[in-house]
């Protein structure tokens, strides 16, 4: 539950940034970070996917 809250709040920040800057990559990653914890129950998988989704906007800039 803690990981879902952490990644959801980071996702909200990415979503707001992407919406304000009209940047599609942070916007989509923010949406995914807010939604995926509802569907993943394995903690290690939850953390792994969260780290990947947080790193994507850093490496892919459109």
What is the per-residue DSSP string for 23-51? -HHHHHHHHHHHHGGGT---HHHHHHHHH
Which position has the token pair 């009209």?
22
Residue 50: Cβ within 10 Å count: 22
Does pLDDT of 62 surpass 90?
no
What residues does each domain of the chain span? 2-59
Residue 61: the pLDDT is: 77
> Please, what is the average pLDDT of the chain?
93
Rounded CA separation 34/3 (Å): 11
pLDDT tens digits, one per residue of 4-34: 899 999 999 999 999 999 999 999 999 999 9
Q: Do the beta carbons of residue 30 and residue 16 sit within 8 Å? A: yes
């Amino acid at each position: 539950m803690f990981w879902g809250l952490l990644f959801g709040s980071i996702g909200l920040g990415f979503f707001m940034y992407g919406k304000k800057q009209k940047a599609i990559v942070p916007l989509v990653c923010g949406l995914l970070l807010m939604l995926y914890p509802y569907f993943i129950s394995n903690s290690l998988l939850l953390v792994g996917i969260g780290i990947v989704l947080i790193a994507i906007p850093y490496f892919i800039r459109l």
